[in-house]
Amino acid sequence: MNALTSALDIDAKEVLSELEAIYKDLHRNPELSMQEARTAGIAADYLAAQGFEVSRQIGLTGVVGVLKNGEGPTVMLRADMDALPVTEATGLPYASTTKARDEDGIEVGVAHACGHDMHVTWLMGAARLLSRHRDVWKGTVLAVFQPGEEVGRGAQGMIDDGMLERFPKPDIILGQHVMVGEAGTVGYRSGVILSAGDSMKVRLFGRGSHGSQPQTSIDPVIMAASTTMRLQTIVSREIAPIDSAVLTIGSLQAGTKENIIPDEATLKLNIRTYDEDVRSTMLSAVKRICCAECAASNAPREPEFTALSTYPLTRNDVEATEKVAQAFNAQFGERAHETKPAGASEDFSTFGRAWKVPYVFWFVGGTDAQTYVKAKEAKKLNEIPSNHSPKFAPTLDPTLKTGLQAMLTAASVWLCAKEKKA
């Protein structure tokens, strides 16, 4: 146990009680991507109360707090703030009933179905303890509350708003995510831990007509159906079995009435990959197949491609991850373990890539321990509501404390370096 986590044990009852109240408030009042004004205000005010120099509205709603405490490394701790357009179905007494309008002006339910409310709470708790116990560490802490992770624009938006020039360059960037897993456990991995993610919209153009005169049309519904089926062959026939990729058509929209052949159809698709060459192959093949199917249908024009979101690979620095893993093993014992890569994607690594510094990202289990163990024994882990499910709800105890311990433990590798050598 290091000095920072020892400080948490000293203040545990008071700190965890306060953080639980904060978490429930954030959970009850979620905000959509790039609309996180209330959440950002709570985080910024809290940092200011802890003595951080606070900058607001970075990349629209982002918050950066700086706490300097003598000579030493600069450590960046990051939490994402946004919620999802999901109607919550957890049945929790503090469940969200919030509704909001998305970027298309459509009213949707809003819920923290990915756990970002937990991430914000963890970072607020870490900020408090770092401020209170400055006697046990040296260096500079950047506490970063990021908007828009769910749309892949938040991290880049903060960078584009001058983040690299306005704040000290970190020596290490640290982040974590609550996931399905036994509560109280921490999963780390060197190298690739999260996939790259690419989402796009494809408009296919035809020629509308009456259903009784198909010969006068160029049917975009057939075009879309053929394209959808052919796109599935990219993974099965163009990607080597030892590689990994996923292509999902999440939306296919065309027409309004059964006897009208529409003018166009729209596909929305998502690609997940773990290798840059595989990613390039997938993206190239998608465009080739879409264009070829349109040509085969004699479409009046080529398809139109619009990027919806792009997430880079999250590839943890090997040396830095080894240090964090050693610290986790010392802190958590058997509750720390090496994890497999996850299929999810994140824009967390955008900060490390822009600053050209090492970063480490890890997982914190949030599933009730008994529930997880029973599901694992019954080989029914896939039935546990996962991130983005309307029923996703991390158990508070011990998830809240474990995530706070993990963040402080990882930060201490750099901030308490002198103490470790003693």
pLDDT tens, per residue, the chain with 422 residues: 677 888 778 877 889 999 999 999 999 999 999 999 999 999 999 999 999 999 999 999 999 999 999 999 999 999 999 999 999 999 999 999 999 999 989 999 999 999 999 999 999 999 999 999 999 999 999 999 999 999 999 999 999 999 999 999 999 999 999 999 999 999 999 999 999 999 999 999 999 999 999 999 999 999 999 999 999 999 999 999 999 999 999 999 999 999 999 999 999 999 999 999 999 999 999 999 999 999 999 999 999 999 999 999 999 999 999 999 999 999 999 999 999 999 999 999 999 999 999 999 999 999 999 999 999 999 999 999 999 999 999 999 999 999 999 999 999 999 997 644 33
**Inter-residue contact 253 to 221 (CB < 8 Å):** no
- DSSP code of residue 242: T
Consult the annotation and say whether 114 binds a ligand.
Answer: yes
Q: Kindly give, in sequence order, each residue whose CB lies less than 8 Å from that of residue 280, ignoring residues fewer than 6 positions away.
A: none
Using CA atoms, how far apart are residues 208 and 216, in angstroms rounded to an integer? 8
Query: What's CA 240's distance to the chain center, in Å?
Result: 28
The annotation status of 177 as a binding-site residue, yes or no, is yes
Among 127, 164, 119, 112, which Cα is nearest to 44's? Answer: 127
User: Which residues, 6 or more positions from 268, have their beta carbon under 8 angstroms from its beta carbon?
Assistant: 199, 200, 201, 202, 249, 250, 251, 252, 308
Taking phi over 0 as left and psi of -120 to 50 as alpha, with beta for the rest, 60 belongs to left
**What confidence score (pLDDT) does residue 420 get?**
41
User: pTM value?
Assistant: 0.94
The CATH code of domain 199-310 reads: 3.30.70.360
Question: Which of 162, 129, 127 minimizes the C-alpha distance to 144?
Answer: 127
- Distance separating alpha carbons of residues 8 and 345, to the nearest angstrom: 31
**What's the confidence (pLDDT) of residue 418?**
63
**Do 266 and 305 contact (CB within 8 A), yes or no?**
no
175's enclosing H/E stretch is strand 172-182
Tokens of 216: 């006068």
* Alpha carbon distance 372, 416 (integer Å): 34
* H helices, E strands: number in the chain: 13, 18
Angle between helices 116-132 and 3-28 (to 10 degrees): 140
Q: Where are the domains of the chain?
A: 3-195+313-421, 199-310
CB 313 within 8 A of CB 196: yes
User: What pLDDT is attached to residue 5?
Assistant: 82
Place of tokens 């004004």: 37
Neighbouring residues of 225: CB distance < 8 A, sequence distance ≥ 6: 252
Q: Residues for the chain: how many in total?
A: 422
Fill in the DSSP letter of residue 134: G
The domain made up of 3-195+313-421 has a fold known as Aminopeptidase (3.40.630)
Distances (CA, A) of 116 to 12, 83, 391: 22, 7, 15
**Residue 228 contacts residue 293 (beta carbons within 8 Å):** no
- pLDDT value for 422: 36
Is 150 annotated for ligand binding?
Answer: yes
Q: Does 3-195+313-421 match 199-310 in CATH topology?
A: no
Tokens of 229: 């089926």
The per-residue pLDDT for 10 is 80
End-to-end CA gap in the chain: 15
Please tell me what DSSP assigns to residue 342: B
